[in-house]
Structure 1
Amino acid sequence: MPLPTSPVIRRVRLGAELRQLRRREGLTLEQVCDRLGWASTSKLSRIELGQSRPDLADVLDLLDVYQVPGPTRDALIVIARDAATSRGWWKALGEMGERQRTYAELEAGAARIVEYQPFLVPGLLQTPAYARLRVTAAALFDPEIDVDAEVRARTVRQEVLRRADPPRYTALLTATACDPGETPAEVWREQVRHLITMTGLRNVTLRLLPGAGAHGGLQPLTPYSCYAFPDPADPRTVMLEALTTDVRLATVLDVERYERVTEALLSAALSAEETVTALAGRIGD
């Protein structure tokens, strides 16, 4: 059975491979585009940066220019097809906003996901009612958000945790993320029950972080997610959540730093069993 792949990560990997091939041939962006008759270098630049879904015909033309031999060429064609895939459940992503689509593509191809969330329940664990409150709040500042579509899309994303070959998923939650705040009581109770139910899946683990002092004051300033993939050649990736545009990190230095922070937080967190007990207590509260 083929390994699941993440289109967004395959685009990054394909772009890096093509950039390396171009430099090996000693060609500039302008020279390659002139040979192919492309109007400007922006198209090639976006392909190399993994910022656009590649057209297979364009990739084949580039491989011809770089004189890529058979086995390497075949491997890159597979990566290009994965980068542009629209097969299977990807068709259900059509109504997703661009930001949520990026997360969905990362999640679908991941072997392991670790999320740190200091303020809210992560999207993969939200009930529809809780998700609607969060999306509605965001829509107050962004009128282009389609609340119904975003809530449906979040539900589609969550299917990744129940598929036949799911990623190993760990959520690191602070006490603030597990505080109802202004959330209506019934919505919050349903949400906490759902969190406890999700821990029944063999691939889902929740870990609750105690007060900041318990882990040396270590407190990342933003929510983040770490992704590792079945193919070790696909770059491990970290996504940082921001108000308007999320940041994707894929350099070894950046990723390893976040992985060290994650290990420190996991060492300080309550065990999975203690976390479930603490959540159950919050239903009564």
Structure 2
Amino acid sequence: MEVLVPRKAPGAKAKGLGAQLRVCREKAGLNLREAAEAVDWDKSTLSRLETGKRKMTVEEVAQLLGVYRVRGAAKDELLATVRTMDEPGWWDQGLQGLPKESLTLAEYEADAAQITNWAPLLIPGLLQTMDYARAWLIATGTDPGGAELRLTARLRRQQILNTGLKYTAFIGEPALRTPVGDAATSARQLAAIREIGKRRNVSIRVVPNGTGPHEGQLGSFVALEFTTAPPVVLVELLRSSVFMDDDRQTGPYLETLSRLTHVALSETESARLITGMQARWKTHDGAGGLEEVQL
């Protein structure tokens, strides 16, 4: 099992680029030893580069691409990636104290072409309102200062939904029905999900109660897919997270997402259910008008 332990350097970009280079090598029909000999490197050097454990230069990548006979747009894209390897993202600027897993996730999200959430019991972070997120963090023991830091980071992460990224959230009905904060907080959270679900690049689908047995009942996870790199799956644990990028490990999770498409409500049915539940929370709160929530 190949598990990515989050680290500051070389980081997620190096991991992704290394995986792409591994694919190029395999397409060229070369094993690790043959490729290393072709560029006069030690086999361990190339192995560390492909697994993201070693930083790489433009010259090194160009040398490998020459051996692998990668040309044209594919070559230009890979070289552009290595040139921007050390450019800082927002996660490198001014938010000291965030968990390493959060920083690694933000970096992966910034590079992803598609993200799919399976969230059976809690609203996914990319869809949470700040009131909902704050109430959950405080209720689960996060100190107020730490909660505000994580909320700031979450607001920045949510900006990826304003890009061309394709985002799909499969949300379990219990996550929608479980109160977090007061009734007004829950009502605003459901209103926010309903509005975000109207975006062309976002798909919100509810997995209703009473659905027959399926693998997703084992727990939540996030699948991040990239244009040229293998997918990464994040499984969140109670006090940490595990990132996986080996096909043998990510495959079952991607298959689970495929099966969820068969048991989840359609986007239209999901929106109707969320609207009805949001209205009941609003009535329960006894509030007047419900403010629109923008993320």
TM-score (ref. length: structure 2): 0.72
Say if 2:165 is the partner of 1:167.
yes
Distance in 2 (CA, whole Å) between partners of 1:61 and 1:168 is 33
Q: 1:23 aligns with which of 33, 50, 63?
A: 33
Say if 2:151 is the partner of 1:151.
yes
Say if 2:235 is the partner of 1:215.
no
Distance in 1 (CA, whole Å) between partners of 2:138 and 2:56 is 36
Which residue does the alignment assign to 2:132?
A: 130
Which residue does the alignment assign to 1:84?
A: 86
Distance in 1 (CA, whole Å) between partners of 2:79 and 2:192 is 42
Distance in 1 (CA, whole Å) between partners of 2:61 and 2:159 is 36
Secondary structure at the aligned position of 1:146 is classed as helix
Q: More relative contact order in 1 or in 2 (CA 8 Å, sep 6+)?
A: 2
Identical-residue share of aligned pairs (%): 26
Distance in 1 (CA, whole Å) between partners of 2:90 and 2:138 is 25
Counterparts in 2 of 1:192 and 1:23: CA distance versus 1, 3 Å = same
Q: 1:278 aligns with which of 247, 256, 273?
A: 273
Say if 2:222 is the partner of 1:225.
yes
Secondary structure at the aligned position of 2:251 is classed as helix
Moved more, 153-162 or 241-250: 241-250
Say if 2:100 is the partner of 1:105.
no
Q: 1:14 aligns with which of 6, 17, 29?
A: 17
Counterparts in 2 of 1:92 and 1:241: CA distance versus 1, 3 Å = closer
Q: Deviations over 1:54-83 (max 9, x none)?
A: 364xx746877x796597596554332344
Which residue does the alignment assign to 1:264?
A: 259
Distance in 2 (CA, whole Å) between partners of 1:251 and 1:210 is 31
Cα deviation, residue 218, structure 1:
3.9
Cα deviation, residue 255, structure 1:
2.5
Secondary structure at the aligned position of 1:188 is classed as helix
Distance in 2 (CA, whole Å) between partners of 1:69 and 1:44 is 13
Distance in 1 (CA, whole Å) between partners of 2:240 and 2:190 is 29
Matches within 5 A, 1:238-253: 238-253=233-248
Moved more, 143-152 or 201-210: 143-152
Counterparts in 2 of 1:145 and 1:199: CA distance versus 1, 3 Å = same
Matches within 5 A, 1:57-68: 60=59
Counterparts in 2 of 1:253 and 1:69: CA distance versus 1, 3 Å = closer
Counterparts in 2 of 1:276 and 1:85: CA distance versus 1, 3 Å = same
Gaps (5+ residues) in structure 1? 1-6, 34-40
Say if 1:222 and 1:241, in contact at 8 Å, map to a contact too.
Answer: no
Q: How many residues align?
A: 254
Which residue does the alignment assign to 2:28?
A: none
Moved more, 171-180 or 144-153: 144-153
Which residue does the alignment assign to 1:204?
A: 202
Matched AA of 1:282:
M
Distance in 2 (CA, whole Å) between partners of 1:254 and 1:281 is 38
Q: Deviations over 1:156-194 (max 9, x none)?
A: 11111113xx21111111121112335211111111111
Say if 1:9 and 1:234, in contact at 8 Å, map to a contact too.
Answer: no
Moved more, 256-265 or 93-102: 93-102
Cα deviation, residue 113, structure 1:
1.3
Matched AA of 2:100:
E
Cα deviation, residue 136, structure 1:
2.8
Cα deviation, residue 265, structure 1:
1.1
Matched AA of 2:90:
K
Gaps (5+ residues) in structure 2? 1-9, 26-30, 282-295
TM-score (ref. length: structure 1): 0.74
Cα deviation, residue 151, structure 1:
0.3
Moved more, 121-130 or 105-114: 105-114
